[in-house]
Amino acid sequence: MKNYLNILHYCFYLFFVKLDYWFNKVNPFLLLYKIPSIKKYHQKQDWNPYHERKKIWNDQKYGFNIIIAGGILIATLAGIFISLVFLINNIFKIYTTIPTYIIVTSCALAYFISYLFEFKEDMYLNYFEKYQFWNVNKKRMNIFLSLLFVVFVMIVIIFCVFKN
């Protein structure tokens, strides 16, 4: 389970790094940097906006992309647990409406599992080092399967919540 969660987390991270790369192509602030006078001024100041932006967004320990990928991983796990609660309730008819504390407990359980298998002592960084040596086809396949898994979880949530 630990390996699968880390693969999901890494693939979400890679997806957002690639998305960030494509958004940088049309980012107006980075396009301003291509103007020679602005570029020359920043070179005198020894400042490169590409490097600074990459450090803020793509850092594997504190970057925004890793935070977003971790949030999506936790939300996916929470979606699985919440859909299981609704599915079990639909089968056994325990509650007429699901109490809020059960949904909050499901989300807390998702966070706890993510913390235990991923974020405790930055354990995911060890896995990321191992996954960096995947070839391009394996990376693409795992990213596609990870996104397909998220879509599947969303469909299951919609099915379980609105099945009544």
DSSP string, 1-43: -HHHHHHHHHHHHHHHHHHHHHHHTS-HHHHHTTSHHHHHHHH
Q: Give residue 101's Cα distance to chain centre.
A: 25
DSSP symbol at 62: T
The number of distinct structural domains making up the chain is 1
- Buried (b) or exposed (e) across 73-99, using 16+ Cβ within 10 A? bbbbbbbbbbbebbeebeeeeeeeeee
Would you mind telling me the total number of residues written for the chain in this entry?
164
Structure token pair of residue 134: 């995947």
The stretch 3-14 carries a mean pLDDT of 95
pLDDT-derived band of residue 155, with 50, 70 and 90 as boundaries? very high
The stretch 137-162 carries a mean pLDDT of 92
Are 13 and 134 in contact by the 8 Å Cβ rule? The answer is no
pLDDT at 40 over 60: yes
Span 83-136, pLDDT tens digits? 999 999 988 988 888 899 999 999 999 999 999 999 999 999 999 999 999 999
Average pLDDT, the chain: 92
What pLDDT sits at residue 146? 94
DSSP symbol at 110: H
The CA–CA distances, whole Å, from 79 to 28, 38, 47, 82, 152 equal 36, 47, 43, 5, 10
pLDDT-derived band of residue 164, with 50, 70 and 90 as boundaries? low
Question: The domain containing residue 58 runs over which residues?
Answer: 2-161
